[in-house]
Amino acid sequence: MIKTLTNIFKIEDLRRRVIFTLLLIAIYRIGCYVPTPGIDGKALSEFFTRIAHTHGGTLFGIINMFSGGAMERLTIFALGIMPYISSSIILQLLTAVIPALERLSKEGKAGYEKINQYTRYGTVLLSIIQSFFISLWLENPARFEGLKIVSSPGWGFRFLTILTLTTGTIFIMWLGEQIQEFGIGNGISLIITSGIVSRIPAALHQLFILFSPFKPSLRQIQPIVLLIMAVLLVGVVLAVTLITQGQRKIPVQYARRIVGRKIYGGQSTYIPLRVDTAGVIAIIFAQSIILFPATLASFIPHPAFQRLAENLVRGHLFYTLFYAGLIIFFCYFYTAIVFNPIELSENMKKYGGFIPGIRPGTSTAEFLNFVMTRITLVGAIFVSFIAIFPDFIMAWLKIPYLVASFFGGTGILIVVGVMLDTIKQIESHLLMHHYEGFLSVGKIKGRR
């Protein structure tokens, strides 16, 4: 492993890409500490603390996680990359239902660039809308009287907040695209991962205080609990890795075609059907819906929203069952959007491909739909289990949620998937320059 890491810096192109990527990530992390003008940081910190102790957080908790704590400090990168992610998901869903966008997506690189441009426009629009409501929310924290977060409320503050947060999101989007083009790995995913990983020191600090190695009398966590946590962490990472890379390979045979003096086809290949097609998107959708009542309750102190938010508290049985059910539903929903068995079977038939033992056309589409439905159930159940696992860890081992969140949930799925993709790209560069990869036998597989 050490030899492989040394080889990375022996290849000039790879060394330049890695250093460039680390430099842009460092710029992003510095920006996460530059405050937005007109905010009382101490009052804002107290506000987030009170929210966390009421209904388990709001949608801003998701934004805070993706932005690496920038939302809690309301820095220039407070919105993080969430508007871009939301815009990408919306465009992806619209592509499946709007024929014009579907045709555009099939036009190759030109179509991809056009859809990417629409995604950027959507990012700007969502950033303006979100930053405007955040400015209103900060001016009037209705649920907590006595807090004055904004020193000079009014349209001046609102316009400045919209301009600052929207510009910050656009700059992050630009950083991600620069990493994608001149660095290594997926730029947007690496920025999200850096935000999640940045919470590790705070989690370790909390764990250190609870363990109290120098004052055993104040110890709240015993050594056996730490050992159990270490074993569970390794097990969760291993399970997430296996499911992330898990796929059902459907064999496909292409018939031979003789065109003139040339013979085409005749080879065997396979269609990789992923066990976890939706991935982290299903969790994001489910979290957005289940935390929506708490978000409304923070804006509108209506008794109906308050009662609904009180019934959707992390750790309650209703919350757990409802959350798991939403994740399973969205796993199937997203898979149905992105996977079209009819189109796939028609393309196979057009080029003379068939699944051994299955008739081409309708029978092939029905078979693919049958297989995808079954394996998606396994992936959906696993993702829902990973999503609620931190709640069980928190209740069982009596540890803070910041520490328990690294045993499952959105963060672990993103970090494992992004690390696999990045390591795969690095290994490809190493093998291309005749260096040994990370594994002496075989090769690392990415998520796709």
Q: Any idea where the domains of the chain sit in the sequence?
A: 1-198, 215-407
Cα gap 231→229, rounded to integer Å: 5
pLDDT value for 21: 92
pLDDT tens for the chain, 448 residues long, are 666 677 777 788 888 998 999 999 999 999 888 888 888 777 777 777 666 555 445 566 666 666 666 777 788 888 888 888 888 888 888 887 888 888 888 787 888 888 889 999 999 999 999 888 888 877 776 555 566 778 788 888 889 999 999 999 999 999 999 998 898 888 888 888 888 888 888 888 888 888 777 777 777 788 888 888 889 889 988 998 888 888 889 888 877 666 666 666 567 888 889 898 887 888 888 877 777 666 666 566 666 666 666 666 676 777 888 888 988 998 998 888 888 898 888 888 887 788 888 888 889 999 999 999 999 999 999 999 988 888 888 888 888 777 888 887 778 888 888 888 888 888 887 877 766 655 555 555 554 4
Cα gap 244→241, rounded to integer Å: 5
CATH 1.10.3370.10 fits 1-198, yes or no: yes
Cα gap 174→168, rounded to integer Å: 10
pLDDT value for 50: 64
pLDDT value for 170: 94
Report residue 76 as tokens.
């220039």
- What's the topology of domain 215-407? Preprotein translocase SecY subunit (1.10.3370)
5 C-beta neighbours (distance < 10 Å), count: 10
The DSSP result for 373-407, as a single string, is HHHHHHHHHHHHHHHHHHHHHHHHHT--HHHHGGG
pLDDT value for 55: 45
Element (H, E) at 269: strand 268-274
Same CATH topology for 1-198 and 215-407: the answer is yes
pLDDT value for 56: 46
**Distance of CA 152 to CAs 145, 149, 232, 255, Å?**
17, 9, 49, 73
pTM assigned to the model: 0.80
pLDDT value for 57: 52
Report residue 35 as tokens.
């405050």
Phi then psi dihedrals of residue 355, to 5 deg? -90, 125
